[in-house]
Chains A and B, each alone.
Chain A
Amino acid sequence: MATTAIRTPAYGAEYPGEHGGLYSWLATVDHKRIGILYLYTALGFFIFGGLEAVVIRAQLGAPNQHLVSAEFYNQLFTMHGTTMIFLAIMPLSSAFFNFLIPLQIGARDVAFPRLNAFSYWVYLFGGLFITLPIFFAVAPNGGWFGYAPLTTKAYSPGLNIDFWVIGLQILGVSSLAAAFNFLTTIINLRAPGMTLMRMPMFTWMAFVVQVLLVLAFPVITIALVFLLFDRFFGTNFYNTVSAGADPLLWQHLFWIFGHPEVYILVLPAFGLVSEVIPVYSRKPLFGYPVMVYSGILIAVLGFGVWAHHMFAVGMGPIADTFFGLTTMLIAIPTGVKIFNWIATMAQGAVRYTTAMLFGVSLVGLFTIGGISGIMHSSPPADLQQTDTYFIVAHFHYVLFGGSIMGIFAGIYHYFPKITGRMLDEKLGKWHFWLMFIAMNLTFFPMHFSGMLGMPRRIYTYDAGQGWDLYNAMSTIGAMIFPIAMLFFIYNFFKSRRSGEIAGSNPWGAGTLEWSIPSPPPEYNFAKIPTVTTRYPLWEGKEPDHESARINAQEGKTPHELGIIIPYSTMKPLLVAAGLIIMFCGLIWSHVLLAVGAGTLILSLYSWLLSPLEPEHS
Chain B
Amino acid sequence: MATSVAHTSAPTHHHYTTLGLDSRKVAIWAFIGSECMLFVSLISTYLIYKGRSVIGPFPHESWTDPSTGQVLKPILNIPVTSASTFVLLMSSLFMVLALAAVQNKELPKRTRGERILGNSKLWLFMTALAGTIFLSFQAFEFTSFVHEGLSIRRNLFGSTFFTLTGFHGAHVTAGVLWLVTLLAIDYRRGLGSRDSLLVDICALYWHFVDVVWIVIFTLVYLLR
- Complex contacts, B19 vs chain A, CB 8 Å: 187-188
B115-136 with Cβ < 8 A to chain A: none
B23 with A245: CB separation less than 8 A = no
Bound complex: CA A187 to CA B41 (Å): 27
Does B64 reach chain A (CB closer than 8 Å)? no
Does A608 reach chain B (CB closer than 8 Å)? yes
Does A588 reach chain B (CB closer than 8 Å)? no
Bound complex: CA A234 to CA B18 (Å): 49
Does B77 reach chain A (CB closer than 8 Å)? no
A223 with B41: CB separation less than 8 A = yes
B17 with A245: CB separation less than 8 A = no
From A214, A219, A615, give the contact of B10 (CB < 8 A): A615
Does A249 reach chain B (CB closer than 8 Å)? yes
A222 with B38: CB separation less than 8 A = yes
B149-204 with Cβ < 8 A to chain A: 152-153, 155-156, 158-160, 163, 181
Instruction: Scan A178-191; emit 1 where CB is below 8 A from any B CB, else 0.
Output: 01110111011110
Instruction: Scan B7-44; emit 1 where CB is below 8 A from any A CB, else 0.
Output: 11010001011110101001100110111011001100
Bound complex: CA A528 to CA B16 (Å): 9
- Complex contacts, B14 vs chain A, CB 8 Å: 564, 616
Once A112-B23, A180-B30 are accepted as A-B contacts, the answer to whether A609 and B41 lie under 8 Å apart by CB is no
Binding-face segment, B48-56, B67-75, B81-89, B216-224: B48-56
- Complex contacts, A616 vs chain B, CB 8 Å: 10, 14
A221-256 with Cβ < 8 A to chain B: 221-223, 225-226, 229, 233-237, 242-246, 249, 253
Does B5 reach chain A (CB closer than 8 Å)? yes
B163 with A226: CB separation less than 8 A = yes
Bound complex: CA A605 to CA B54 (Å): 46
A184 with B30: CB separation less than 8 A = yes
- Complex contacts, B4 vs chain A, CB 8 Å: 609-611
Bound complex: CA A194 to CA B156 (Å): 52
- Complex contacts, A233 vs chain B, CB 8 Å: 152-153
Report the minimum CB–CB distance from B165 to chain A (whole Å): 14
From B8, B27, B35, give the contact of A111 (CB < 8 A): B27
Does A371 reach chain B (CB closer than 8 Å)? no
Bound complex: CA A219 to CA B34 (Å): 9
A215 with B37: CB separation less than 8 A = yes
Chain A contact residues (Cβ within 8 angstroms of B): what range?
35 or more
A218 with B34: CB separation less than 8 A = yes
A235 with B16: CB separation less than 8 A = no
B interface residues, tally (CB under 8 Å): 39
- Complex contacts, B107 vs chain A, CB 8 Å: none
- Complex contacts, B38 vs chain A, CB 8 Å: 218-219, 221-222
B18 with A180: CB separation less than 8 A = no
Report the minimum CB–CB distance from B205 to chain A (whole Å): 13
- Complex contacts, B144 vs chain A, CB 8 Å: none
Bound complex: CA A112 to CA B17 (Å): 13
Instruction: Scan A268-305; emit 1 where CB is below 8 A from any B CB, else 0.
Output: 00000000000000000000000000000000000000
Bound complex: CA A485 to CA B80 (Å): 65
B156 with A243: CB separation less than 8 A = yes
Report the minimum CB–CB distance from B153 to chain A (whole Å): 4
Once A229-B163, A236-B153 are accepted as A-B contacts, the answer to whether A218 and B41 lie under 8 Å apart by CB is yes
Once A180-B34, A184-B23, A219-B41 are accepted as A-B contacts, the answer to whether A609 and B16 lie under 8 Å apart by CB is no
Residue of A nearest to B55 (CB): A243
- Complex contacts, B41 vs chain A, CB 8 Å: 218-219, 221-223, 253
Bound complex: CA A71 to CA B107 (Å): 72
A234 with B23: CB separation less than 8 A = no
Does A176 reach chain B (CB closer than 8 Å)? yes
From A218, A225, A609, give the contact of B1 (CB < 8 A): A609
A222 with B42: CB separation less than 8 A = yes
B45 with A237: CB separation less than 8 A = yes
Does A217 reach chain B (CB closer than 8 Å)? yes
Question: Knowing that A244-B53, A608-B8 are A-B contacts, what are 16 other residue pairs whose CB atoms are under 8 Å apart, sorted by A's residue number?
Answer: A184-B26, A187-B19, A192-B16, A214-B34, A215-B34, A215-B37, A221-B41, A235-B163, A236-B155, A236-B156, A242-B54, A244-B156, A245-B156, A246-B49, A609-B4, A611-B10
Q: List 20 A-B contacts (CB under 8 A).
A: A112-B23, A184-B30, A185-B23, A187-B19, A188-B18, A188-B19, A214-B30, A214-B33, A215-B34, A218-B41, A222-B38, A223-B41, A237-B156, A243-B53, A244-B53, A246-B49, A253-B41, A528-B16, A610-B4, A615-B10
The 3 lowest CB-CB distance pairs between A and B, nearest first, are: A611-B7, A218-B38, A222-B41
Interface residues, chain B, with chain A CB atoms under 8 Å away: 1, 4-5, 7-8, 10, 14, 16-19, 21, 23, 26-27, 30-31, 33-35, 37-38, 41-42, 45, 48-49, 52-54, 152-153, 155-156, 158-160, 163, 181
